[in-house]
């Protein structure tokens, strides 16, 4: 029988190399700021952040699988729980609540209880339309693609835009048959 997936990433997080979150938060902020200067268009920045996240997700899935001992999830519900309780915890030290399932069990939302990406961040009026956390949706999409799930990952609510929570929607588009992982650049 397959080992049961861990219900929480607390132990893993306690055992990985950690750094102070300010370095991470400020580095991300500096990247966004530089991209806004270089790319000018907010939409282009959103796209670039999403692409960077995707590339990170494609790489981080290996570390996740190696350290978490998570085996194949039985369904997308379990996948979402593992992301919310183990994946987010292991890398960002946070967890999320999974909610808003559709009847097919292919779409749900993660409500983040906390979000280290946005500490000290306030968006100026000139940045309306910026999806500041695009990198995180990209990471989830990239990581899931490496384990054969094509998904659409979208921020539905964003506290930087005045919403009352951070809500990340995961929509399973299709399961792709197992094949040698390739890098999908475009």
Partner 1 sequence: MYHVNLIEQFDRGVEEMGREVSESCVESLVTEIVSSYCNGFYADKPELAARRIEAIGFQVGHQLSERYTMDRPRFTDHLEAIKFICKDFWSEVFKKQIDNLKTNHRGTFVLQDNRFRWLSRMSVDPSIETLGSIQDPSAMAENKAAQAIGMHLYFPCGIIRGALSNLGIPCAVSADISNLPACSFVIRIKA
- Binding status of residue 33 toward partner 1 by CB under 8 A: yes
Closest separation in Å from C-beta 149 to partner 1: 20
- Binding status of residue 93 toward partner 1 by CB under 8 A: yes
- Binding status of residue 169 toward partner 1 by CB under 8 A: no
Q: Quickly tell me which residue has 């194949």 as its tokens.
A: 72
Residues in the chain: 186
d(CA 42, CA 115): 22
Closest separation in Å from C-beta 56 to partner 1: 4
- State which of residues 31, 65, 121, 159 lies at the interface with partner 1 (CB under 8 A): 31
Closest separation in Å from C-beta 26 to partner 1: 5
Q: Which stretch binds partner 1 (CB under 8 A): 74-82, 87-95, 103-111, 175-183?
A: 87-95
Spatial contact of 3 and 74, defined as CB atoms under 8 Å apart: no
d(CA 99, CA 161): 21
Whole-Å CA distances, 44 to 25, 32, 55, 61, 135: 21, 11, 16, 26, 13
- State which of residues 6, 10, 24, 159 lies at the interface with partner 1 (CB under 8 A): 24
- Binding status of residue 6 toward partner 1 by CB under 8 A: no
């Amino acid at each position: 029988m397959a080992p049961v997936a861990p219900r929480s990433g607390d132990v893993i997080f306690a055992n990985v190399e950690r750094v102070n979150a300010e370095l991470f938060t400020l580095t991300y902020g500096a990247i966004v700021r530089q991209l806004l200067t270089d790319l000018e268009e907010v939409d282009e920045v959103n796209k670039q952040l999403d692409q960077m996240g995707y590339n990170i997700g494609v790489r981080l899935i290996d570390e996740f699988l190696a350290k978490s001992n998570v085996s194949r999830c039985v369904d997308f519900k379990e996948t979402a729980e593992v992301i919310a309780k183990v994946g987010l915890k292991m890398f960002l030290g946070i967890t999320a609540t999974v909610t808003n399932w559709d009847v097919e069990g292919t779409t749900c939302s993660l409500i983040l209880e906390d979000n280290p990406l946005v500490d000290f961040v306030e968006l100026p009026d000139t940045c309306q339309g910026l999806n500041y956390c695009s990198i995180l949706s990209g990471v989830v999409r990239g990581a899931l693609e490496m384990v054969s799930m094509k998904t659409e990952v979208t921020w539905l609510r964003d506290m930087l835009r005045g919403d009352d929570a951070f809500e990340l929607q995961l929509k399973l588009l299709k399961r792709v048959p197992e094949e040698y992982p390739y890098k999908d650049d475009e």
